[in-house]
Amino acid sequence: MASIIEIKHLFYRYEKDIVLDNINLSIPEGSFLAIVGPNGSGKSTLLKLILGLLKPQKGRIQLFGQEISKFKDWQKIGYVSQKANSFNTGFPATVFEVVASGLTKSIGIFKFFKKEDAAKVDQALEAVGMEPFRRRNIGELSGGQQQRVFIARALVSDPKLLILDEPTVGVDAENVTTFYQMLSDLNRNRGITLLLVTHDIGTISDKVSHVACLNKHLHFHGETKEFEQMRLEEMSKTYGHEVHLLSHQHQHEHGGVR
Ligand SMILES: Nc1ncnc2c1ncn2[C@@H]1O[C@H](COP(=O)(O)OP(=O)(O)O)[C@@H](O)[C@H]1O
Ligand SMILES: [Mg+2]
């Protein structure tokens, strides 16, 4: 399958410390990639480079087969930033208006809004299950609901790739699973390639197709089943001895053989 993103020998530093060191990453069309890594490991920086918000200092990035410096089809890429869900609850806009601003790039010029545009907004709201809330004020919604609205805003221009930076930070634990199910549906039913930075890898390993572990270097990149295999091997190396001891002890507690 064609790659949507192709990164080769990418380096980036803000001041003197290197934040991304020789990153090579290829993201196939239709995949659902989770980027994992500790705080400060360069995840958001990598996304900003892919989005053209920062410029590579060394190495190259290609988007949809084109050098990023020449790339112009930015409407093919939707982005929900890390801070999107810490929204000012006093902000006077309806859910419909927030999503519509993904088309007009500013809120408050809806007088000239066409019927087709309104239909696009409703479709995007439907895709994230927020259609019943279209007339509500954005500030009245829960963190998880607001996050769905921001995803709808990113979806309204019909992107082929959706990039999300830690989208579940403001989402209640009990809603995280349904949130990821919604993302999985976008990926499977609408064929949208998803690139997600997350700390929830344990919860979502059955939903993502690929995993990348970043900590300045790319320590692992591959299919989720290889990642799970590696995780199990690491765990048995780290805890194998204790696990063995525990099961041994357990046997004794229950009487064992007399
Ligand atoms: N604008 C900036 N100026 C200087 N340093 C930055 C800037 N943004 C991030 N950094 C530093 O770069 C490193 C990587 O940050 P970031 O990409 O935000 O990591 P992550 O998203 O994995 O937590 C951190 O050490 C952070 O402090
Ligand atoms: Mg970050």
48: left (phi over 0), alpha (psi -120 to 50) or beta: alpha
Q: Give yes or no for residue 244 having a pLDDT over 80.
A: no
Residue 113: count of CB within 10 angstroms of its CB: 15
* Ligand with smallest separation from the Cα of 164: 2
Domains of the chain, first to last: 3-239 (3.40.50.300)
Ligand 1 lined by 41 (C-beta under 6 Å) = yes
Atom of ligand 1 nearest to the CA of 165: 21
Give CA–CA dist 77/162, Å, rounded. 6
Query: What pLDDT, on the 0 to 100 scale, is given for residue 245?
Result: 54
Give CA–CA dist 136/94, Å, rounded. 5
DSSP letter (8 states) at residue 110: G
Question: Number of C-alpha atoms within 13 angstroms, CB side, residue 76?
Answer: 14
Ligand 1 lined by 31 (C-beta under 6 Å) = no
Query: What confidence tens digit (pLDDT) does each residue in 150-164 have?
Result: 999 999 989 999 999
Ligand 1 lined by 16 (C-beta under 6 Å) = no
Kindly provide the b/e burial profile for residues 146-167, where b requires at least 16 CB atoms within 10 angstroms of the residue's own CB.
bbbbbbbbbbbbebbbbbbbbb
Give CA–CA dist 120/246, Å, rounded. 57
Cross-strand partners of 116: none
Q: Give yes or no for residue 258 having a pLDDT over 50.
A: no
What is the pTM (predicted TM-score) of this model?
0.87
Distances (CA, A) of 185 to 21, 243, 253: 34, 37, 47
- pLDDT category, 142, cuts 50, 70, 90? confident
Q: Give yes or no for residue 180 having a pLDDT over 80.
A: yes
Per-position DSSP letters for 64-99, written without gaps between them: TTEETTT---GGGEEEE-TTTTS--TT---BHHHHH
Query: What confidence tens digit (pLDDT) does each residue in 2-47 have?
Result: 899 999 999 999 988 899 999 999 999 999 999 999 999 999 999 9
Cross-strand partners of 220: 213
Q: Give yes or no for residue 89 having a pLDDT over 80.
A: no
Ligand 1 lined by 47 (C-beta under 6 Å) = no
Atom of ligand 1 nearest to the CA of 15: 4
Ligand 1 lined by 88 (C-beta under 6 Å) = no
